[in-house]
């Protein structure tokens, strides 16, 4: 399309033509080689501007050597007819254009050429006079044509530059909006890309395909020959416009998600490069065996890349013309696609993060709830203990009162008995209720996620404070990045304390080295374990009793009758773990606890 600026130039060209040549009709034809079209931005008849939107002067297909002004373009040289126009046209099989008018006596067409490219032609006619132009006329119009061509080309370059700047601004705007839209959903991002691309180019036929690699079968990219890469993922159409109509990609046939096959879209995914075939039909025959609905005349696809990863492809299509997309369009689309890819990746990361945060919050809620239950049950246990202690003696006291008083006041014996019995019954009731409460508090609350490192570190800090100097505490092998363990923290704490206390006490007389270490390990079947090792240089456990040490009330210490290792073993096993002990008399003991790591939070 000739812009206003070009029409203005042509109007001043017209002034020169009118002054220098005997002309009663002057017109300009501009040639569009991509669309193979001629347009007529200026027609001056008898000094008057003609309306260029009437039938004869609307843009029409270029006809090459068969039509009259077209032939001047075709032969890239001036074409002059000074007399017998009709006869000569008939003789050479050329058709005069425009139709329906009287043929002029003189006709001269001079192509406008820039660097060997023909961009159009200037035509002068004289209906009343033969030999109106002559060789001098050809020279004059040729000079004008050369200058006009140069000026038009300059204007076009200038306009292209302006458009590029505008594109750049628009693309920047896309980027800005996408960056602001960190909380946009994937679909919202696709719509924003479409909306922004529409400002820059013809998007009446556009789609955005998203690519998701197969989780089990990784794609095999061939960096030497990218077109031979093999991909196994799925192509899903996030958004599609077909001839200005929004496609319902969820339900419309042909647009449903498909296993990556051999379309042009997949070609872009495989090569990770923009693709803009000059001959689409050939491209479909050679590299694409699948396509959606139709073979367009123009096709351009650019990958949406994040790093080296293809998230999808943005595709523009045109059903009417070949090669409507140029390098500029490709660059603009590439920039938009790049920004879109980053935005989509961010949106996905953000969505993932939101999900993780939600899971964590739920877990935390659960833990808080359990914490409350635990607190309640501890309070209840304490209450029960106190009731038992305080009220437990009432029956004994009542019994004594009964014995003492009934001897002294025989006349009051009956009512005394009744009241005392009442107190007894009430007390028993109270104690039974307390007993039931005690039983219910023994239903231990649900397990929670325990940070073992935190727990062990706390215990070690306390040990350092309480341990005499001749026992040296070593804890440099504590793994800080332990996964959590599922259990009841207070129980696990007690279990670990029992082990560490044993180790320290074993060295109270001899002194020595106390070592505590933690580690995370995976076994052969991939299960994760949190390991805790406590090592002392105490007196050790004789081999013949080593197998008894986990029995209830067993002790090597003589003075203490701990529930110690029995309780530890119970706790560890209730968590699904194991406890083992190695010991040598006179050398020391190593207690090894391993606990199953809690499964990582998954979706």
Binding site for another protein (CB under 8 A): 381, 385, 388-390, 392-393, 395-397, 399-400, 403, 428, 431-432, 434-435, 438, 494, 552-553, 559-563, 567
In 98-233 the beta strands, taken as DSSP E runs, fall at 106-114, 117-126, 206-212
Query: In the chain, what are the helix, strand and coil shares in percent, each to the nearest 5?
Result: 45, 20, 30
Give the integer Cα–Cα distance in Å for 156 and 342.
34
What is 226-260 written as a DSSP string?
GGG-B---EEEEEEEEETTEEP-TTTSTT-S-EE-
* CB closer to another protein, 132 vs 384: 384
* CB closer to another protein, 232 vs 374: 374
* CB closer to another protein, 322 vs 493: 493
* CB closer to another protein, 265 vs 571: 571
Asked if residue 302 lies in contact with residue 330, where contact means CB atoms within 8 angstroms, the answer is yes
Asked if residue 6 lies in contact with residue 28, where contact means CB atoms within 8 angstroms, the answer is no
Residues 6+ apart with CB under 8 A from 545: 554, 556
504 forms beta bridges with none
* CB closer to another protein, 75 vs 570: 570
Asked if residue 582 lies in contact with residue 533, where contact means CB atoms within 8 angstroms, the answer is no
* CB closer to another protein, 309 vs 557: 557
Tell the smallest beta-carbon distance from residue 392 to another protein (Å): 5
Half-sphere CA count of 226, side-chain side, radius 13 A: 11
Q: Is the dihedral angle over the CA atoms 144, 147, 152, 155 positive or is it negative?
A: negative
Tell the smallest beta-carbon distance from residue 543 to another protein (Å): 23
Tell the smallest beta-carbon distance from residue 548 to another protein (Å): 13
In this structure, what are the phi and psi dihedrals at residue 96, rounded to the nearest 5 degrees? -75, 145
Give the integer Cα–Cα distance in Å for 77 and 71.
9
Tell the smallest beta-carbon distance from residue 507 to another protein (Å): 21
* CB closer to another protein, 408 vs 553: 553
Asked if residue 333 lies in contact with residue 302, where contact means CB atoms within 8 angstroms, the answer is yes
Tell the smallest beta-carbon distance from residue 432 to another protein (Å): 6
Asked if residue 247 lies in contact with residue 241, where contact means CB atoms within 8 angstroms, the answer is yes
* CB closer to another protein, 311 vs 504: 504
Tell the smallest beta-carbon distance from residue 419 to another protein (Å): 18
Give the integer Cα–Cα distance in Å for 338 and 343.
9
Tell the smallest beta-carbon distance from residue 450 to another protein (Å): 20
Q: Which residue has the tokens 């109509």?
A: 245
Tell the smallest beta-carbon distance from residue 431 to another protein (Å): 5
Collapsing DSSP to helix, strand or coil, 116 comes out as coil
Which H helix or E strand runs over 565?
helix 564-574
Other Cβ atoms closer than 10 A to 289: 10
* CB closer to another protein, 369 vs 428: 428
* CB closer to another protein, 56 vs 570: 570
Other Cβ atoms closer than 10 A to 283: 18
Q: Which residue has the tokens 């004059």?
A: 140
Residues 6+ apart with CB under 8 A from 314: 193, 197, 206, 207, 208, 301, 302, 304, 333, 336, 337, 340
* CB closer to another protein, 221 vs 554: 554
579 forms beta bridges with 593
Give the integer Cα–Cα distance in Å for 145 and 306.
50
Other Cβ atoms closer than 10 A to 583: 21
Tell the smallest beta-carbon distance from residue 518 to another protein (Å): 25
Q: How far is CA 94 from the centre of its chain?
A: 62
Tell the smallest beta-carbon distance from residue 530 to another protein (Å): 25
Half-sphere CA count of 192, side-chain side, radius 13 A: 25
Residues 6+ apart with CB under 8 A from 471: 504, 507, 508, 511, 512, 513, 514
* CB closer to another protein, 123 vs 495: 495
* CB closer to another protein, 22 vs 494: 494
Tell the smallest beta-carbon distance from residue 563 to another protein (Å): 6
Q: Say how many Å lie between the first and final Cα of the chain, rounded.
A: 56
Tell the smallest beta-carbon distance from residue 557 to another protein (Å): 10
* CB closer to another protein, 188 vs 429: 429
Tell the smallest beta-carbon distance from residue 398 to another protein (Å): 9
């Amino acid at each position: 399309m000739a812009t206003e600026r070009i029409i203005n130039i042509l109007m001043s060209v017209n002034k020169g033509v009118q002054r220098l040549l005997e002309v009663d009709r002057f017109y300009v034809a501009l040639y569009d080689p991509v669309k193979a079209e001629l347009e007529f931005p200026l027609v001056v008849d008898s000094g008057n501007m003609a309306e260029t939107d009437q039938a004869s002067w609307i843009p029409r297909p270029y006809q090459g050597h068969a039509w009259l002004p077209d032939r001047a373009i075709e032969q890239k040289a001036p074409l002059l007819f000074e007399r017998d126009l009709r006869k000569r046209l008939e003789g050479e099989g050329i058709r005069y254009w425009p139709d329906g008018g009287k043929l002029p006596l003189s006709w001269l067409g001079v192509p406008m050429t820039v660097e060997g490219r023909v961009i159009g032609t200037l035509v002068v006619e004289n209906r009343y006079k033969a030999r109106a132009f002559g060789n001098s006329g050809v020279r004059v119009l040729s000079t004008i044509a050369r200058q006009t061509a140069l000026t038009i080309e300059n204007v076009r370059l200038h306009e292209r530059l302006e458009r590029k700047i505008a594109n750049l601004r628009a693309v920047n705007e896309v980027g800005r909006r996408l960056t602001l839209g960190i909380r946009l959903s994937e679909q919202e991002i696709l719509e924003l890309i479409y909306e922004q691309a529409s400002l820059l180019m013809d998007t009446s036929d556009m789609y955005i395909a998203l690519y998701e690699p197969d989780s089990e079968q990784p794609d095999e990219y061939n960096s030497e020959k990218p077109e031979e890469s093999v991909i196994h993922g799925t192509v899903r159409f996030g958004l599609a416009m077909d001839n200005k109509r929004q496609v319902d990609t969820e339900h419309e046939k042909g647009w449903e998600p498909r296993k990556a096959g051999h379309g042009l879209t997949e070609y872009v995914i495989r090569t990770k490069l923009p693709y803009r075939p000059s001959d689409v039909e050939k491209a479909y025959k050679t590299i694409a065996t699948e396509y959606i609905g139709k073979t367009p005349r123009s096709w351009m696809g650019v990958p949406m890349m994040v790093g080296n990863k293809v998230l999808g492809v943005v595709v523009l299509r045109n059903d009417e013309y070949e090669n409507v997309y140029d390098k500029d369009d490709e660059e603009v689309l590439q920039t938009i696609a790049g920004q879109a890819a980053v935005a989509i990746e961010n949106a996905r990361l953000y969505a993932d993060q939101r999900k993780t945060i939600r899971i964590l919050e739920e877990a935390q809620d659960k833990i808080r709830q359990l914490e409350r239950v635990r607190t309640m049950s501890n309070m209840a246990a304490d209450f029960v203990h106190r009731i038992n202690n305080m009220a437990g003696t009432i029956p004994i006291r009542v019994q004594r009162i009964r014995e003492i008083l009934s001897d002294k006041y025989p006349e009051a014996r009956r009512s005394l008995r009744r009241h005392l019995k009442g107190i007894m019954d009430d007390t028993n009731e109270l104690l039974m209720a307390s007993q039931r409460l005690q039983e219910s508090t023994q239903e231990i609350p649900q397990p929670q996620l325990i940070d073992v490192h935190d727990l062990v570190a706390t215990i070690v800090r306390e040990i350092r404070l309480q341990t005499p100097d001749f026992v040296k505490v070593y804890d440099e092998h504590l793994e800080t990045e332990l996964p959590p363990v599922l259990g009841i923290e207070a129980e696990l704490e007690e279990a670990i304390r029992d082990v560490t206390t044993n180790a320290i006490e074993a060295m109270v007389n001899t002194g020595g080295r106390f070592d505590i270490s933690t580690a995370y390990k995976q076994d052969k079947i991939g299960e994760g374990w949190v390991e805790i090792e406590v090592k002392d240089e105490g007196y050790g456990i004789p081999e013949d009793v080593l197998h008894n040490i986990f029995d209830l009330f067993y002790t090597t210490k003589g003075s203490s009758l701990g529930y110690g290792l029995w309780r530890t073993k119970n706790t560890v096993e209730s968590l699904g773990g194991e406890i083992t002990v190695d010991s040598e008399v006179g050398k020391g003991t190593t207690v090894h606890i391993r606990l199953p790591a809690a499964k990582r939070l998954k979706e």
